[in-house]
Amino acid sequence: MGVGTVWFVGAGPGDPELITVKGRDLIVRAGAILFAGSLVNEAATRWAPPGCVIADSKDMTLEQMSAWLIANAARCDTVVRLQTGDPALYGALIELVQPLDAAGVPVAVVPGVSSAMASAAAAVESFTLPEVTQTTIFTRVEGRTPMPDGEDLAALAAHRCTLCIFLSITLLHKVEAGLREAGWPEDAPVLVVHKASWPGEERIVRGTLATIKQQCREAGIVSQAMVIASPTLGARQWPELIRSRLYDPSFTHRFRKATT
């Protein structure tokens, strides 16, 4: 038997039904699954076949995870590493891939739905609107992991575009400080979604720069929450919107001629 492939699969934001079809099909045929139990809903492993070895990595070090994946790739054709959201965002993808490369273990990645997208969906919000903002920044504030030069929140917030702020719910004071330093007004809307898409656990908090920290404190939200600050928030209730040119009757494109 040759060396099996380790698949890094994005489990999505929480709802097990938001895993991709490809990701689910890999679980169906997996001989071993290592899932990030502190963040991934264990229900995502329910499609695993009988006899599949399933382990939770929440108490493992990086070295232990790498060793587990390498050992199981030696006995299984398909090994799945289930990661929260999308493997490319705030996951230890490259740190885990390097030891596998060194051991000659083939790897592949299946993308997943990010909690940023799930949060916007839960709140029925859009990150972009014509002539409001066409840019979305995924970032975090500095905690134990420092931010590279030029990537502090105030510098990014100066663009006045949509900010999806990961891993920062316990650092809302830093989020507030960064937005204020960039000139955002006290009534700027801020959205916090806790456990986006998790069945029975999702909570949505809408506030402003002036109120959101206290609102989250009162709601007891201290983990697994996405913070979104954007000039587009609340647009569902705006009396007027600038319409997309693509769907405007006066706009001609290769599928439709202008009618006005």
Q: What is the pLDDT of residues 27-42, one digit of tens each?
A: 999 999 999 887 787 8
Residue 92 in tokens: 């230890």
- How far apart are the C-alpha atoms of 136 and 115, rounded to whole Å? 14
Beta bridge partners of 207: 190
Q: Report the SS3 class of residue 224.
A: coil
Question: Tell me, what's the pLDDT at 80?
Answer: 97
Beta bridge partners of 253: 256
The domains located in the chain, with CATH, are 5-110 (3.40.1010.10), 115-237 (3.30.950.10)
For the chain, percent of residues with pLDDT exceeding 90: 85
- How far apart are the C-alpha atoms of 157 and 126, rounded to whole Å? 18
Residue 111: pLDDT band (50, 70, 90) is: very high
- For the CA atoms of 209, 210, 216, 217, the dihedral, rounded to the nearest 10 degrees, stands at 140
Q: Is it the case that residue 243 has pLDDT exceeding 90?
A: no
Q: Any idea how long the chain is?
A: 260
Please enumerate in sequence order all residues whose Cβ is within 8 A of that of 88, keeping only pairs 6 or more positions apart, or say none: 109, 111
Nearest to 168 by CA among 178, 181, 183, 155: 178
For the chain, percent of residues with pLDDT exceeding 70: 93
- How far apart are the C-alpha atoms of 96 and 90, rounded to whole Å? 13
- How far apart are the C-alpha atoms of 86 and 9, rounded to whole Å? 8
- How far apart are the C-alpha atoms of 170 and 213, rounded to whole Å? 9
Q: Is it the case that residue 1 has pLDDT exceeding 60?
A: no
- For the CA atoms of 117, 6, 36, 197, the dihedral, rounded to the nearest 10 degrees, stands at 30
Question: Tell me, what's the pLDDT at 42?
Answer: 80
Q: Is it the case that residue 251 has pLDDT exceeding 90?
A: no
Q: What is the pLDDT of residues 199-226, one digit of tens each?
A: 999 999 999 999 999 999 999 999 999 9
